[in-house]
Structure 1
Amino acid sequence: MIFRVRRYILFLFLVFLLAACTTTGFSKSMDGGTATASSQPSAVPGFADQAITTCPAELANYQGCHTPYTLRQAYDVESLTKQGFTGKGQTVVVIVSFGSPTLQKDLDAFSRQFGLPQSRVQILSPLGTVPFNTQDSDMVGWATETTLDVQLIHAMAPEANIVVMTSPVSETQGVQGLPEFKQLEEYAVNHHLGQIFSQSWAASEATLADQAGQQLIKSYADFYKQATLQDHWTIFVGTGDQGATDFADLNSTKLVNARNVTFPADVPWVTAVGGTTLASSQGATIEHAWSGSGGGFSKFFAQPDYQKALPSSVQAQSGGQRGLPDVSANADPSTGMSFYYNGNWSLTGGTSASTPVWAGLMAIANQLAGHPLGFINPTLYSLAQGAGEQQNFHDVTIGYNNNQSTKGGETVNVKGFQAVPGWDAVTGLGTPKGSSLLHNLAATTK
């Protein structure tokens, strides 16, 4: 299950809004094909001039609230949007448990609110479905997760196609739900459903250390290597919301009282996405590390080649292991984007919000390139070297991901990592300067 505690907090926040606010109730077809280029994009009629900077009235008390427009502005994507680079012709595939019965209705309301093009989500369930129970907090949590994933992708890449693939089994910790998710991913690749995965789910490395866990991890890593290098998919995975640690047990009730990261963000073939706090002050954007941003060094995977050029200070921390995250985006619920679920407005949060931001950006990069870019990590790290860092990334240098909290009656005090100039184990290389980064990514990825 995607970051159980984050989804639970999000649900509580939604309940608060239901009690405090009077809510307002309130296409494009998909071909499901491989991503293709739009060689001469044109501005989207009635869309390029949209500059909605105000969140719905229900969220008026939340000063940090973002709209799709302000989020695209913050990451310098709006200039591309106005030129018609909106992810058109590209498809992002989202892997979740259960899905949401109100997904399309909610997306339609979201699009109307912010002047976005209407988009028809394709929902596929090749493993079957189970009846949706509105009294089941796990199912409701997955429904809100599915909704925010889809709406954030649509916010960043308003003309990208979105395929949601649902599993009838809840992914939690350990191997639970992971075989089913892998089957869905394999189905997506084998049936050429798109070229980008957005995956806002994770299992703690601490719950996958046994033989069954290690076997499954190897099978995933082998599949991801093939999917990225041979089939040219790009895979974005959130790093989790427990800072420098994660859960110790299969029920997600206790935390490891030591540094710990999550799978599959630890796999070298995925692009691991951490979190920041994206705030505004007197017209200026201020961004620092979000304390919940998962980050650290894997116990399962060695340092990949693309991280071996990182400075000696990082090498001393890494112990020769894979570091994460690779990149970041806004994940703090207090500065989240507004999204619409089942008749109510709320705020997004967690690295399950920053991950679909990058998936949307990737749809634009593929459109710019005219072909799927596939495995982008070596290029990302190359573009962050020397003068390229300031050109392509917002280098986040303030904040940390310590975790001092009590769960399951036990208190943990885990010293995390500090955001510093260059790559760090809180925000990775930083957040995107979209126009420059996506053009350079499209031009230099082989």
Structure 2
Amino acid sequence: MTVTNHPADYPVPGSDKSQPEGAQCLGACNPEEKIEVVVMLRRQNEGEFKQLMQKINEGAADAAPISRDEFGKRFGASQADVTRIEAFAKAHGLDVVRADASSRSVVLSGTIAQFSTAFSVKLERFEHHAIGEYRGRSGPVNVPSDMKDMVTAVLGLDSRPQARPHFRFRPPIKPARGGTSTSYTPLDLARLYNFPAGDGSGQCVGIIELGGGYKQSDLSAYFSKLGVGKPDVVSVGVDQANNAPSGNPNGPDGEVTLDIEIVGAIVPGARIAVYFTTNSDAGFVDAVNRAIHDDANKPSVVSISWGGPESNWTAQSQNAFNDVLQSAAVMGVTVCVASGDSGSSDGVADNADHVDFPASSPYVLACGGTHLSASANGIGSEVVWNDGDQGGAGGGGVSAVFALPVWQKGLSVTRTEGGKAALAKRGVPDVAGDASPLTGYDVLIGGTETVVGGTSAVAPLWAALIARINAAAGKPAGFINPKLYLAKTAGHDITQGNNGSFEASAGWDACTGLGSPDGAKVAAALK
């Protein structure tokens, strides 16, 4: 293919980036440093895809999931677009690491100097007190004019950490308001939440991890103590990352191990594919994309316990990620995402309300948190998880980015100050489950038995429930939001408590969504 190498002077929409307040420039990057960048391409048959998405959102009976193979043929990138990117790369001395038309992604490798020229960007080193040192850029990413319609995102030029894990160890403090602390195994919760019987045989649950790793010795000891079969856990490396335990259970290792132990305890017959990637927008988006297009492991459910405030994302990163999540819905992959552990502010110190992304995407099941009191006889009480400033609270609220989904029309939010108002944009979360560290999960991390909470635990809990339902039905439930909202409940309506700005109420609310699960009722709603 002969290519005229136009200058890269057309800004990719939504790619503008600036540095967070307090960031200091340390100077230029080493021009010879090698990095990888992910280029996302437009979809073929966009009009047809939008019509299909509309049907899926409306819960239409004829909106059956399509296979990964068929998806790639109908809605992947065109070979002409892939070939054009490959030619562009060659012209700038960049190597093509991977070009996949089905997932519409091309991974390029080269030096800082080569990428700076190719995309007309200035890359510098920055330091921030809360983030550490990272590679950053200001302004937009640029492409040649003959590529402006085909490139939807260029990710990875910036290495700033994009997300945080949403788990919390039980603090060494006395429970507030005279309460008591307790803990549950995942099997206890599956029983209390009335999960249908089964071990998930024939299913694969994908778990996305942005760092850290697991030790086989932890998993073996944990599942042995619970008396469940040892699940088949496979590690999948994405973009030069792999299963790399740091040895620090307080870091990402805690998240990775928690996720695997919850899923593995509830569906030991399922395969668990853990996708390890780098903590950047490029790594995060690419890992989810790789998981939903994984022809070898074929996950029917994906669990994500990482995220960051919507305001921390560029429009191009958010759009690229949301695009991938729409693809998951079309292929019948359910994506469960933790809604965050910092209440209605999502940890942003500007006295405003924020929701976490990707939980705020309209194409995921956003999982909020509760404080659960139960006994051998069943659930005694369940309220919104809010352990105060130090203890954490379930994330929830109203998106500043995404429009109101058709299945949330007619709902309202109740503010702790200001009363009831109509829900105007995407409301978060959709569902909830036990998340308070004071009523947390018994796990084994780094050889030590401990109790962990956070909405990080709720995403794999729901993912395991969906895997059991899929195994029993012999087919994937797929994008479940329209059916759950039609049923108007997840099983247990939570009507007490708040997460800061939002109050629980009868029906859906911006603290616990449709409530915590009654597995049998969820299964019935998804039939």
Query: Which residue is 1:109 aligned to?
Result: 221
Q: Which amino acid aligns with 2:192?
A: A
Aligned with 1:274 (options 368, 380, 387): 368
Gaps of 5+ in 1: 18-61, 172-176, 249-254, 403-415
Query: Which residue is 1:396 aligned to?
Result: 494
**Is the 8 Å Cα contact of residues 237 and 243 (structure 2) preserved in structure 1?**
no
Aligned with 1:199 (options 304, 308, 315): 304
* Pairing 1:74–2:192 present: yes
SS at structure 2 position matched to 1:423? coil
Distance of 1:131 and 1:312 partners within structure 2: 41
Larger radius of gyration: 2
Aligned with 2:207 (options 94, 106, 111): 94
* Pairing 1:151–2:261 present: yes
- Give the drift of 1:311: 5.3
The structure richer in strand per residue is 2
* Pairing 1:120–2:221 present: no
**Is the 8 Å Cα contact of residues 65 and 347 (structure 1) preserved in structure 2?**
yes
Name which of structure 1's ranges 393-402 and 92-101 shifts more when overlaid on structure 2: 92-101
Q: Percent identity?
A: 34
- Give the drift of 1:69: 2.8
Query: Which residue is 2:177 aligned to?
Result: none
Distance of 2:466 and 2:165 partners within structure 1: 28
Structure number with higher relative contact order (C-alpha < 8 Å, ≥ 6 residues apart): 1
Distance of 1:381 and 1:417 partners within structure 2: 20
**Is the 8 Å Cα contact of residues 238 and 265 (structure 1) preserved in structure 2?**
yes
Cα distance, 1:283–1:373 mapped onto 2, change above 3 Å: closer
Q: Which amino acid aligns with 2:201?
A: K
Query: Which residue is 1:419 aligned to?
Result: 504
Query: Which residue is 2:50 aligned to?
Result: none
Query: Which residue is 1:219 aligned to?
Result: 320
Aligned with 2:481 (options 354, 377, 394): 377
Aligned with 2:472 (options 347, 350, 368): 368
SS at structure 1 position matched to 2:206? strand
> What's the TM-score once normalised by structure 1's chain length?
0.73
Query: Which residue is 2:281 aligned to?
Result: 178
Distance of 2:398 and 2:243 partners within structure 1: 39
Distance of 1:132 and 1:154 partners within structure 2: 20
Cα distance, 1:372–1:133 mapped onto 2, change above 3 Å: closer
Distance of 1:328 and 1:182 partners within structure 2: 24
Query: Which residue is 1:236 aligned to?
Result: 336
Cα distance, 1:144–1:123 mapped onto 2, change above 3 Å: same
- Give the drift of 1:368: 2.1
Q: Which amino acid aligns with 1:261?
A: V
SS at structure 2 position matched to 1:378? helix
Distance of 2:334 and 2:437 partners within structure 1: 26
SS at structure 2 position matched to 1:298? strand
Aligned with 2:426 (options 316, 319, 322): 322
Deviations 1:88-134 (A, max 9, x none): 111111111233241x2211111111111111310010322379574
Q: Which amino acid aligns with 1:165?
A: Y
Deviations 1:227-250 (A, max 9, x none): 212x111111111001001233xx
Distance of 1:379 and 1:6 partners within structure 2: 27
Q: Which amino acid aligns with 1:306?
A: W
**Is the 8 Å Cα contact of residues 247 and 256 (structure 1) preserved in structure 2?**
no
Deviations 1:11-68 (A, max 9, x none): x85xx79xxxxxxxxxxxxxxxxxxxxxxxxxxxxxxxxxxxxxxxxxxxx8511123
- Give the drift of 1:140: 5.1
**Is the 8 Å Cα contact of residues 233 and 375 (structure 1) preserved in structure 2?**
yes
RMSD: 2.6
Name which of structure 1's ranges 341-350 and 309-318 shifts more when overlaid on structure 2: 309-318
Cα distance, 1:114–1:309 mapped onto 2, change above 3 Å: same
Deviations 1:246-289 (A, max 9, x none): 233xxxxxx33111111111110011000001112684522111
**Is the 8 Å Cα contact of residues 68 and 114 (structure 1) preserved in structure 2?**
no
Aligned with 2:396 (options 295, 298, 314): 295
Distance of 1:434 and 1:309 partners within structure 2: 26
Q: Which amino acid aligns with 1:108?
A: S
The structure richer in helix per residue is 1
Q: Which amino acid aligns with 1:117?
A: G
